[in-house]
A and B are shown apart, each in its own frame.
Chain A
Amino acid sequence: MTAMQHDPAYNFAYLDEQTKRMIRRALLKALAIPGYQVPFASREMPMPYGWGTGGVQVTAACLTPEDRLKVIDQGADDTTNAVSIRKFFERTAGVATTEHTNEASVIQTRHRIPEAPLGAGQILVYQVPIPEPLRFLEPRETETRKMHALEEYGLMYVKLYEDIAHNGAISTAYAYPVKVEGRYVMDPSPIPKFDNPKLESGAIQLFGAGREQRIYAIPPYTQVVSLDFEDHPFEPSKADHDCDLCGCGTSYLDEVITDDAGGRMFVCSDTDFCAARQAEGHRGRLSGEDAA
């Protein structure tokens, strides 16, 4: 929760005002048509594509000096990607940052939705590698756009069919396609399907794909349905364990290999959630050993 000094060599939040304005227009359009991919003139950012250039641009367009920013990568606040993006905005915008989900007004995320429920007044910004859910089934962009326009989503089910035919169940575990407000089929970015039910929330959810130059959004309290078959319904899944640090049985877990003799531990992927539970006195199987 430190407010760093804004480096005056940069415009607020790095991007110039015209660019932020252009992105905001795309964001407004995206919010008006939930799930629709709005093209925008993505800029070169001082980081490589694939590190969250889309999310950073959306965050930059949303930030105000009063905001409190949280950045997570795979649920963790302390991984390289999260740390460097947080530092980037501390320096270029001078905004306050936090690691606590409920204190943050803007959360940029990669591959996870925080465990703590989000509510009104919060914005969740996703980093998206491939915005087009149909891309690997139909490589032609002209054709996929037409399929979205004409609501021809039979092909999306071909993927789920293939999953069941080869694995006996829908094995798609992340980037699980959803239908937003009964109209557009959308790729929720590579979040685990465990997080799909949380896409229906009180927060504004914005998706930015920098390399692909697309922005899309889910407004608060929008219906988001995960696609499935009548006889193979959607099931959010997680590792069948409790967290080894906080003992939580309902959070999404990361598997961590601890030695080369088959030793492993399962820990909450949401570090803030896990730390908060440990502070409340919850303990897991390995608490007190290698858990600092």
Chain B
Amino acid sequence: MTPLLQVRDLTKRYGARLGCGDVSFDLYPGEVMGIVGESGSGKSTLLNCLAGHQPPDEGQVIFDTRAEGPVDTLTMSEPERRMLGRTDWAFVHQNARDGLRMGVSAGANVGERLMAVGARHYGDIREQAVDWLSRVEIAEDRVDDRPRAFSGGMQQRLQIARNLVTGPRLVFMDEPTGGLDVSVQARLLDLLRGLVREMGLSAIIVTHDLAVVRLLADRLMVMKSGAVVETGLTDQVLDDPQHGYTQLLVSSVLQV
């Protein structure tokens, strides 16, 4: 089986400082990988480099494209990479406002990706938008409301619908549940887990919340100071942490 994404020796420096260093891993179709670590450990830098938002200094990010098989996305031309960004890839921002167009309706937010890949039939676009809103538990009568009128949880769900409407194969998520209260978090996680399993998505989830990765991720990568300190199956890493930092991280979780 060809890995969907192969990352080789990815390094990003900010001047003399290391953002993330020598990260390598394979992600297989249908697999969800979690990246955990404290603030400043390089999680978001890594994710942005993977998703093409930032150019890394060294390394390769090889994606198994539908048309040409494995291609290094860093040496792709910009139009190709942007095309990938709105078809096979999706990026869920921590702050829904970063990923949504706040000035246009929820339906248009979902429809934008469809129109960006050439949909030109209003009825079809509308139908798909309504369908996707219902899949993320947003009522049909809210389709013409602007995201400003939505609660934080709804905005995040709308962002997920907007990203998944074109049927991507790989989803990048940057703290998808950050800033939401726990009950909303739980529902969002439930929803995400359902969608990921149902659509057979691969996902890379960056978070500092161990509960999120416990629920969603098959595998886990623990980062500290820009380097990967431990990898393994989620349950294995969380139940039997080997590295000192992972042990600290696991023991820091408050028990209610």
Contacts and interface: CB of A to CB of B under 8 A. Distances in A.
Contacts of B107: 161, 165
A165 B116 contact: no
A152 B120 contact: no
B108 A165 contact: yes
User: From DSSP, what is the main secondary structure of chain A's interface residues?
Assistant: helix
Given A150-B79, A152-B82, A164 B122 contact: yes
Contact of B121 (A150, A166, A231): A231
B8 interface: no
A223 B107 CA distance: 32
Chain A interface: which size bin? 10 to 19
User: From DSSP, what is the main secondary structure of chain B's interface residues?
Assistant: helix
Contact of B122 (A150, A152, A154, A229): A229
The residue among A137, A166, A229 with the most chain B CB atoms within 10 A of its own CB is A229
Contacts of B79: 150
Contacts of A166: 105, 144
Given A150-B79, A161-B111, A165-B108, A155 B120 contact: no
A239 interface: no
Interface residues of B, number: 25
B235 to A, nearest CB: 42
B243 to A, nearest CB: 41
B115 A162 contact: no
A152 B116 contact: yes
A280 interface: no
Nearest to A165: B144
A155 B82 CA distance: 14
A161 B101 CA distance: 14
Contacts of B113: 154
Contact of A161 (B82, B86, B115, B118): B115
A231 B144 CA distance: 19
Interface in A229-250: 229-232
A255 B79 CA distance: 47
Contact of A155 (B116, B118, B126): B116
A165 B118 CA distance: 19
B78 interface: yes
Contacts of A49: none
Given A154-B86, A161-B108, A161-B125, 7 more contacts: A137-B104, A154-B113, A154-B115, A154-B117, A158-B101, A162-B104, A230-B122
